[in-house]
Amino acid sequence: MRKLIVLAVFLVILTACQQQEETFDAVAKEAELIDFEISMVDISSDSSFVYDLELNNEAINSLHKTVEYYENGELVKTIVDSSTRITDYDKEDDYRVVVLQNNVTEKQQNWTSAFFSNSGSAVTKANLVRESEFNSSLHSGVSPEINLTIGEKTPIAFIIETNKNSISTNSEQPINHYIDRYEAVYVFSIELN
């Protein structure tokens, strides 16, 4: 009898601990692309970010993505600023968010961003003409998996361009560290509403 009581108490504690796990409104994960998709992305862009979104909260009504361009620590331009509405019909869909950047010339870039779901897609195109030229660049995701919360703008990935001899990144550093340290930084963010 004593063993049954101990077992019951253990199960109650285990269940309580599992229920206390923090859940997020959505999770952005670097997409696992098949070879065909990798080839398509490679021929269509110089830098790319592809994330799958797992929506965990029925209250999400829209997905908003931005790409902001910072030069010498200052916001110069919001290059991409687009949203897609999530209807009750769409809530069960899988979502993929894509941002592609092409260097047309040393000073001109074309950007394409898209939301994809089983219900359709929404594509935005933009360009950026800038005064500066840079000899090095690096693009990176913040993390392979990023937790998203409704109402919070969350950086997902970034591109650094510089004339310095080297670029170093560390997943422990906040995005502002790179914005302040390098001549040009592009920040890709997602916000749930």
pLDDT of residue 16: 46
pLDDT, tens digit (0-9, with 9 covering 90-100), for 19-53: 445 589 999 999 998 999 889 888 888 888 999 99
Task: Find all residues with CB under 8 Å of 84, minimum gap 6, and list them.
Answer: 62, 63, 115, 122
Averaged pLDDT, 156-166:
89
- Give Cβ neighbours of residue 184 (< 8 Å, ≥ 6 apart): 69, 70, 71, 130, 132, 134, 160, 161, 162
Average pLDDT, the chain: 84
Q: Which two tokens stand for residue 112?
A: 């394409």
Question: What pLDDT score does 138 carry?
Answer: 86
Mean pLDDT on 126-139? 86
Using CB atoms within 10 A of its CB, is residue 174 exposed (0-12), middle (13-18) or buried (19+)? Answer: exposed
pLDDT tens digits for range 80-100: 999 988 876 666 777 899 999
Domain boundaries, the chain: 21-192
- Among candidates 163, 155, 146, which has minimal Cα distance to 186? 155
User: Rg of the Cα trace of the chain?
Assistant: 20
CA distance 109 to 116: 23
* Strand ranges for 16-152 from DSSP E: 26-30, 47-55, 62-71, 74-85, 95-103, 108-117, 120-129, 136-141, 145-148
Span 89-129, pLDDT tens digits: 666 777 899 999 988 788 889 999 999 888 888 898 998 89
Which 3 state secondary structure label does DSSP give 19? helix
State the pLDDT at residue 65. 94
Is 9 a residue whose pLDDT tops 50? no
